[in-house]
Amino acid sequence: MSILVENLTKKYGSQRAVDNITFEVKTGEIVGFLGPNGAGKTTTMKIITCFMAPTDGDVKVNGLSIHNNQDDIKKKIGYLPESNPLYNEMPVLEYLEYAAKLNGVPASKVQERIIEMVRLTGLNSEKHKNIGELSKGFKQRVGLAQAMIHDPEILILDEPTTGLDPNQIVEIRKLIRELGREKTVILSTHILPEVEAVADRILIINQGKIVADGTAANLRKQAQGVEVLRVQISEAENSNTVFNELKNLETVAMIDPVPEEENTFLINSKENVSSKKNIFNLCVKNNWVLTELTPLETKLEDIFRELTTN
């Protein structure tokens, strides 16, 4: 089930929390919605889930507009808000039964869905407790269970691993990946490893605008632009000779010595060419021993910082 966001804008007075954004999430895709706090992630998700009206633009869920099909759209979406509002005085099983009925699960299937959600989210050991007695991690699992209780085709998860310990984060990521095999998922986070661990595609939003859209590999490639190599050579005459010969290779755009490491350099190739073969041949020609030839990859952290820092 697809989601199409078209020219979406949300204003608060003169401030644009979401500023004319357009993107599509295809059926069966897990999209990581990445951005700093206050970038517009939560506002966008609230609009998609019909919890908030946009100022301008539209969202279509499988062709249905949020402007006149809200009830039908809500039935197709499971939503875990960032705040995860739960009724602390209710027992877990009673709350899940309440959530199932609220989401229109047929009476004959309520218990079946509760059992399935308890199994999926690992709540079995805590299922008889009141929600208020649970740890943050188990409360988050209850929130995920209520989002999935009616077996929606779309999951909107706003910061689903907030406050979890490392083991719980791994378990929730695994669960999201499994769910993504059958459902369309939008996962909001400002945690970089989160999107790399679970998402097929990454949207980066900053100050209400989409500033990047693609896989982690594609974003790195776009940001990097040119090949960057770390090169180390031994059994050569001296660093100056090595430096000058590498610099004069026709594919090399720039070369920098690595401080305090003899005959070690960072080499930027010219655009759309590789220097690997030329460096190797130069070493063979001069009887140098090439001890390192490592392509350096732009980190997702660097891309994120570049796109979201003004």
Question: What stretches of 181-273 show up as alpha helix (H) in DSSP?
Answer: 192-198, 216-224, 239-247
Question: What stretches of the chain show up as alpha helix (H) in DSSP?
Answer: 41-48, 70-76, 92-102, 110-121, 136-148, 166-179, 192-198, 216-224, 239-247, 276-286, 300-308
Q: CA dist 53 to 2, 17, 18, 153, 215, Å? A: 20, 13, 12, 22, 30
pLDDT digits (tens, 9 = 90+) for 261-288: 888 999 988 878 899 999 999 999 999 9
Q: Do 260 and 240 lie in a common domain?
A: yes
Cα(247)–Cα(282) distance, integer angstroms:
11
Residue 307 within a domain = no
Q: Do 248 and 274 lie in a common domain?
A: yes
Strand order in the sheet with 15-25: 15-25, 3-12, 56-61, 64-65
Residue 201 within a domain = yes
Residues above pLDDT 70, as percent of the chain:
96
Domain boundary among 214, 239, 262: 214
Q: What is the pTM of this model?
A: 0.75
Q: Dig out the tokens for 280 from the structure.
A: 């190797």
- The mean pLDDT value for 72-92 works out to 93
Q: What is the pLDDT of residue 224?
A: 61
pLDDT digits (tens, 9 = 90+) for 212-255: 999 887 787 666 666 889 999 987 777 788 999 999 999 998 89
**Domain CATH number, residue 248:** 3.30.70.100
pLDDT digits (tens, 9 = 90+) for 38-54: 899 999 999 999 999 99
What range does the domain containing 137 cover?
A: 3-214
Residue 309 within a domain = no
pLDDT band at 300; cut points 50, 70, 90: confident
Domain boundary among 193, 214, 235: 214
Residue 4 has pLDDT above 90, yes or no: yes
Provide the domain count of the chain. Answer: 2
DSSP codes, 209-226: EEEEEE-HHHHHHHHH-S
Q: Do 246 and 207 lie in a common domain?
A: no
DSSP codes, 278-299: HHHHHHHHHT-EEEEEEEPPPP
**Domain CATH number, residue 158:** 3.40.50.300
Cα(213)–Cα(101) distance, integer angstroms:
38
Q: Do 242 and 156 lie in a common domain?
A: no
Q: Do 21 and 162 lie in a common domain?
A: yes
Domain boundary among 186, 214, 242: 214
pLDDT digits (tens, 9 = 90+) for 153-181: 999 999 888 767 777 788 888 888 888 88
Residue 304 within a domain = no
